[in-house]
C-alpha cells in the first residue's frame, strides 16, 4: 500500500483492494451517491455489505440504482424537494438519511453527521484536533468517513451591499488514510482520499489557515488535484476550500 506520511503512524481504510466509484460515469452532480458507495466499498467486511448488495457491475449502474431507490424520494428536511436532483445534487442531511436507510437493510449501526464549525471559545487548533478525531474514530470502526468540502468566494452581495464570503460549490469525498494522531497544537494534517469526480485516489491537507477568510468558522483544505468550484470563481475573486462537515461512525 502506498503511504503518504513518511515517518508517521497511519490509520487506513480496511479494504485497500476496493476500486473507486466514478460519478462522471453517471451524472456530474452525483458525488453524494458515489461517495456513499466508496465509503461502504472501502470499509470493513460488515460495512461492505450495503455496497455488495447494490445491483450492477459498474459505476453508472450502481449510482443509478442508489439514486432511483433512495435519491428520488422526498427530502424530510426541505418540503417539496427530492433528496437528489441533477442540478443541485444532494445536501448533507439527505445523504446522511440515505446512508442510514442503506445500513438498516443489513442490521448495521446508524451513522452520524456533524457540521464542523469553530465555537466562540475554541481555537482553530481545537477544531482541527476534533475534526481529526472524527475521521480516525470512523476509520477505526471500519467505515471511511465522507467529508464535505466547500469552496467559498469573496464577492459582492446585493442584499448586504458589501463584499462577503459566499459558498459557491460543495463536493463529497471519502477519507481512506491519515495519521493515527496529531499533536494538540498541530495546525494541519494530511489525508488520502477517494475523489468520486473521476474516481481517483488523491492526497491533500486539512489546516487551520484560511488565508484572507479570517473569520471563517471552518477549517481550510488544500487539495491540489481537485477542481472543486474553480469554474464558478470569477476573474479576480479570492476563493478558498473549506472542510465543513463529516458523515461517519463515532
Beta carbons of 141 and 195 less than 8 angstroms apart: no
Tell the residue number behind the cell numbers 479576480, with chain if given: 236
pLDDT beyond 90 at 28: no
Q: What percent of the chain has pLDDT over 90?
A: 91
**pLDDT-based confidence at residue 1 (cuts at 50, 70, 90):** very low
pLDDT beyond 80 at 4: no
135 half-sphere exposure, CB direction, 13 A CA radius:
33
Of the chain, the end-to-end C-alpha distance in Å amounts to 25
pLDDT tens digits, residue range 106-162? 999 999 999 999 988 899 999 999 999 999 999 999 999 999 999 999 998 777 678
**Which residues, in sequence order, are CB contacts of 10 under 8 Å at separation 6+?**
3, 177, 178, 179, 180
The mean pLDDT value for 164-190 works out to 96
The mean pLDDT value for 54-72 works out to 97
Give all strands (DSSP E) within 78-161, no chain letters. Answer: 84-85, 89-90, 112-115, 146-157
Q: How high is the pLDDT of residue 248? A: 98
pLDDT beyond 50 at 97: yes
Q: How high is the pLDDT of residue 3? A: 37
Per-domain residue ranges of the chain: 15-248
Beta carbons of 11 and 140 less than 8 angstroms apart: yes
pLDDT beyond 70 at 93: yes
What is the C-alpha separation between 124 and 193, in angstroms, rounded? 22
Q: What percent of the chain has pLDDT over 70?
A: 97
> C-alpha distances in angstroms, 63 versus 54, 56, 86, 164, 187?
9, 9, 13, 36, 36
Q: How high is the pLDDT of residue 7? A: 55
Amino acid at each position: 500500500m502506498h503511504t503518504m506520511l513518511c515517518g508517521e503512524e497511519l490509520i487506513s481504510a480496511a479494504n485497500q483492494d476496493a476500486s473507486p466509484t466514478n460519478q462522471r460515469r453517471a451524472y456530474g452532480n452525483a458525488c453524494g451517491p458515489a461517495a456513499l458507495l466508496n465509503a461502504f466499498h472501502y470499509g470493513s467486511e460488515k460495512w461492505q455489505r450495503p455496497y455488495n448488495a447494490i445491483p450492477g457491475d459498474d459505476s453508472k449502474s450502481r449510482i443509478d440504482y442508489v439514486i432511483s431507490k433512495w435519491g428520488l424520494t422526498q427530502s424530510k428536511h426541505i418540503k417539496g424537494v427530492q433528496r437528489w436532483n441533477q442540478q443541485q445534487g444532494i445536501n448533507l442531511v439527505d445523504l446522511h438519511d440515505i446512508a442510514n436507510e442503506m445500513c438498516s437493510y443489513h442490521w448495521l449501526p446508524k451513522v452520524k453527521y456533524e457540521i464542523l464549525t469553530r465555537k466562540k471559545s475554541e481555537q482553530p487548533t481545537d477544531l482541527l484536533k476534533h475534526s481529526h478525531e472524527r475521521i480516525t474514530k470512523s476509520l477505526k470502526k471500519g467505515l471511511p468517513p465522507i467529508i464535505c468540502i466547500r469552496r467559498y468566494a469573496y464577492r459582492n452581495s446585493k442584499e448586504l451591499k458589501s463584499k462577503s464570503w459566499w459558498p459557491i460549490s460543495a463536493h463529497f469525498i471519502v477519507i481512506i488514510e491519515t495519521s493515527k494522531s496529531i499533536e494538540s497544537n498541530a495546525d494541519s494534517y494530511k489525508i488520502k482520499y477517494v475523489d468520486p469526480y473521476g474516481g481517483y485516489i488523491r492526497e491533500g491537507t486539512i489546516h487551520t489557515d484560511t488565508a484572507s477568510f479570517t473569520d471563517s468558522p471552518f477549517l481550510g483544505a488544500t487539495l491540489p488535484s481537485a477542481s472543486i468550484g474553480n469554474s464558478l470563481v470569477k476573474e479576480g475573486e479570492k476563493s478558498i476550500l473549506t472542510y465543513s462537515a463529516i458523515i461517519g461512525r463515532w
